[in-house]
Structure 1
């Protein structure tokens, strides 16, 4: 069950559509009498789930996921940074585990954790969540991890031209920010503060300037890096560069303090960012890393990952959210109760209901006189299948979120469309009862001599976009196709693996690929 927090908004919240949130009383904890909040927002790549780095050797653990003490050190880093909200990269199912150890809320879907309640809104689609930083008021938080290979600065180092570098970035990393560019600015225009954390695997156009090129030999020429440029053009501001505008004086390198995967001729750079948009102001920003490291403002020894983090202090004016329903989980075991948080306009007769696949109400609960709260929807006696949680106001559905009901003990399943494919023919893949984490993926694996071992290498693959049930096509445009498509004749399976990890939770029947 996904551990999205079921946030209980207070009844003092202003009605939907109010121009401003309720003013907070003046306090000494960062809040002001005008509704402003001080937040410390952190980004951190934790290296293969945070439990695969041996702190004594600085190398991979001898056993996969075998260094839990590194996770404890990750927790210490977050505490030492005094973070309120953290975006995690390379989480491998451990976001909620780390959050629980801290006594926080966590989302394995969005890869965000916070000491404040987290709400998964309809339309967020795993791209962003709301964090309730004050009673009845939210900010939007998104987290991303752009593709790492091929790495642009290595191409520069190895003699690539500006055109070659830009072509690489436009092909490899620019497509990965398009959804962020489409979704996040719209939230900011609605008056919702937006934070975007991530490992962008790209330098910033704010860093590779003519002045920097004159000082740093590895910066052979200025580059207007496409990913950072696109995000900046969309209105997302780089908080570290707002706090430290001179990239010559304060480079702020986050890659790398040392890594088992570091290149022998490493190029150091600032590729981990906290970006913001909407009603927010940068107060400060600093690098979190190993004690004594360059530009490190928050130091810890030993440092438990191969990236330094960044923590930024922001002054924000959180917003009243739109009307919404937020189920505590998107996959529900029949017979259990489903908690659903809501924000409603506050009209008479409003209800939260569970709708079947035909749109019929199968159960409902009144919201009462409150604008915000949580109702519990029972599922005993219902049939397996797709349902929707809906908020009714004025006799109309004003917010809806999909959920799936499964029988107790029902496993995760993955299937392919046919038992036999011709070489080069796209492979149809479908799945159900998936974990629904942010980086769940489906991949083709070879079965040499008809034997499908767990140790075989993954080939071409696709992400599920955190869908509980869905389908995709694996083919020439899928990830890994450059090196492994078309797969040669032979026998194969497709596996579903949660959250960028390498442990399968479901496997298809064996299928064959034949010659053309």
Structure 2
């Protein structure tokens, strides 16, 4: 879940050296050549896990069961998160509330990680063009991939609490359609098309919603906290899009095996808590569920993998799947979207395999400034040099028979250039939307820009965020903060006074850039 703690918000990136290593791995191996350059499809068995790690995994004191005395002050809890993943024997993990720690955990495990997509794996990860941080490919066999997406829908207001407090079915459905259903629409638009192309799809997440497979008439007859059956909109919409609930495939009777994941205990638990199964591993495409189990505290209800002490406020789920991984579409995938001028950029490709194909770095005018041949290989990795180039936006392009068949954007910056954020004007009228620009952002899945008050012209690091929006993991971009932004219901219009805008990585509270001060006037 994700309840506010003194306005500490959580609801998800460009992967760095670990992604580069993953891409080098893809380039070093290829499937045995047969028709189309790849061997016949073979089945692979994968263990896919979902896990909400609670404020980055280092904010829970394992001794007291309460928040750490200092934010991010319990690194030993992060070690226990790593232990839980190891005990679950997971191959792929979707992480919620990661707070910049996906790649950190992955590194500790000797894995690959994406802070952009909030996915880690013991297999190489590829951030494909068009994925836009919504999903990544995991190369589970040489030259063959599965698609993995991860999500965390809004937590408040929470539907089961509304039921507990006397809400009607209509009120519950209206709440869910307004609060959580919009958060999965992009997934519904994108993931089924991947499955139709024969790519196995896995969607992990903390959905902050029960499942329609659990709130059935049979369950309503047995559980007092389920007074009526509900066709919960999020799970229903995902099911209608072809995504299957692996836990319910393995345990079809919700009366006999509820599989609760919320909550084994939490500093944020409600005084009159409602327990439910809100963390899921969903799948689509050529995959079959072998087994699924809850990962949580030893002795917990329906816990199949027990860990003591349990280091987070959600139980996890790990599902064993039999999949037929797919050959990806033609693609070019840079190791990072932020490139240091003077350095090198590894680029992975899956090409048609024709003579004369090249991977190029192209400037804003479409001119190739550096390139490397693919040597007619279908899969591989080349390294492009960024020496002597100018700061700015570029495209990495895969060129076949003189045409660009795939491209992906990157941005080049001088070594040491900081992240920057600015506002459009030094003064705004009350109620006027604020234009925000940023550059050289971390590009993580939940980077955000927010307005902070500066009473008396003094901007404190400890001041509270007011109204904000997410960057969409963009390295460079712009947005408007105004009446439709998050937090506007309580903070908009801004009162007359002085303010700044800050850019904060991955849903965390540590700013990496601050604008010049601006004024709001009547």
Does TM, scored on the shorter chain, surpass 0.5?
yes
Which whole-Å CA distance do the structure 2 matches of 1:293 and 1:412 have between them? 45
1:12 to 18, 31, 35: 31
Which whole-Å CA distance do the structure 2 matches of 1:269 and 1:15 have between them? 49
Alignment of 1:9-408 (within 5 A): 9=27, 10-12=29-31, 22-23=39-40, 35-408=42-415
Alignment of 1:477-496 (within 5 A): 477-496=484-503
- Checking the alignment, whether the CA contact within 8 Å between 2:291 and 2:321 is kept in structure 1 is yes
Offset, 1:349: 0.3
Confirm whether residue 410 of structure 1 aligns to residue 410 of structure 2. Answer: no
Offset, 1:422: 1.2
- Say which is worse superposed, 246-255 or 421-430, in terms of deviation: 421-430
Equivalent position SS for 1:345: coil
- Checking the alignment, whether the CA contact within 8 Å between 1:441 and 1:499 is kept in structure 2 is yes
Equivalent position SS for 2:266: coil
Equivalent position SS for 2:270: coil
1:451 to 436, 454, 458: 458
Aligned residues: 503
Which whole-Å CA distance do the structure 2 matches of 1:11 and 1:465 have between them? 33
Offset, 1:514: 1.1
Offset, 1:369: 2.8
Q: Which runs of 5+ in 2 are unaligned?
A: 1-14
Equivalent position SS for 1:177: helix
Equivalent position SS for 1:176: helix
Which whole-Å CA distance do the structure 1 matches of 2:95 and 2:278 have between them? 14
Which whole-Å CA distance do the structure 2 matches of 1:15 and 1:491 have between them? 66
Which whole-Å CA distance do the structure 2 matches of 1:341 and 1:330 have between them? 13
Offset, 1:17: 6.4
Alignment correspondent of 2:7: none
- Checking the alignment, whether the CA contact within 8 Å between 2:26 and 2:139 is kept in structure 1 is no
Alignment correspondent of 2:517: 510
Q: Which runs of 5+ in 1 are unaligned?
A: 24-33
- Checking the alignment, whether the CA contact within 8 Å between 1:13 and 1:136 is kept in structure 2 is no
Offset, 1:12: 3.1
Which whole-Å CA distance do the structure 2 matches of 1:194 and 1:138 have between them? 10
- Checking the alignment, whether the CA contact within 8 Å between 1:349 and 1:366 is kept in structure 2 is yes
Equivalent position SS for 2:468: strand
Which whole-Å CA distance do the structure 2 matches of 1:208 and 1:135 have between them? 42
Which whole-Å CA distance do the structure 2 matches of 1:384 and 1:348 have between them? 32
Cα deviations by residue, 1:220-256 (Å, 9 ceiling, x for unpaired): 2111111111111100000000000111110000000
Alignment correspondent of 1:28: none
Which whole-Å CA distance do the structure 2 matches of 1:206 and 1:14 have between them? 44
Distance 1:454 1:15, change over 3 A: farther
Which whole-Å CA distance do the structure 2 matches of 1:137 and 1:413 have between them? 39
Offset, 1:11: 3.3
- Checking the alignment, whether the CA contact within 8 Å between 1:16 and 1:344 is kept in structure 2 is no
- Checking the alignment, whether the CA contact within 8 Å between 2:52 and 2:316 is kept in structure 1 is yes
TM-score of the aligned structures, taking structure 2 as reference length: 0.95
Distance 1:383 1:115, change over 3 A: same
Offset, 1:485: 1.3
Distance 1:16 1:144, change over 3 A: farther
- Checking the alignment, whether the CA contact within 8 Å between 1:326 and 1:342 is kept in structure 2 is yes
Alignment correspondent of 1:27: none
Equivalent position SS for 2:422: strand
Alignment correspondent of 2:11: none
Which whole-Å CA distance do the structure 2 matches of 1:403 and 1:378 have between them? 13
Which whole-Å CA distance do the structure 2 matches of 1:287 and 1:475 have between them? 42
Equivalent position SS for 1:202: coil
Equivalent position SS for 1:39: strand
Cα deviations by residue, 1:421-443 (Å, 9 ceiling, x for unpaired): 11111111110000000010011
Distance 1:13 1:386, change over 3 A: farther
Alignment correspondent of 2:8: none
Distance 1:377 1:490, change over 3 A: same
Equivalent position SS for 1:82: coil
TM-score of the aligned structures, taking structure 1 as reference length: 0.96
Cα deviations by residue, 1:66-99 (Å, 9 ceiling, x for unpaired): 1010011001100000000000000000000100
